[in-house]
Amino acid sequence: MASQEIRKASGDREGTPLDTDRVVTGWPAQGEPLHPEIVLGFHGLCLVKAVNDDDWYMGSLNDDGSVTCWSAYGDLYEALRGL
């Protein structure tokens, strides 16, 4: 999905891909980090696609660059609409 499509589906003109070299914790297993394949940023919120996982995880982008997730979505369009 291209950046323009992501921005259109989310309604956020600032949505952008972020570096995957960051700690991602929270949902689904508290304390066990996810290994991000894709990270998309939206004004302090993030969507994360983990390696070997079909779900997209929503969370907040912390000041240190890490992400704390609190929910999961079955596909990217559903996650974008959840923003």
The total of other beta-carbon atoms located within 10 Å of residue 26's CB is 22
Residues 6-52: tens digit of each pLDDT: 666 656 566 788 999 999 988 766 667 889 999 999 888 999 999 98
Which residues span the domain enclosing 24? 3-82
How many domains are contained in the chain? 1
β-pair partners for 69: 26, 59
Distance, CA of 40 to CA of 34 (rounded, Å): 15
The total of other beta-carbon atoms located within 10 Å of residue 48's CB is 27
Confidence of residue 71 (pLDDT cuts 50, 70, 90): very high
Q: What are phi and psi of 54, to 5 degrees?
A: -85, -15
Confidence of residue 77 (pLDDT cuts 50, 70, 90): confident
What pLDDT does 7 receive?
61
Higher pLDDT, 5 or 56: 56
Distance, CA of 73 to CA of 19 (rounded, Å): 21
pTM check: above 0.85: no
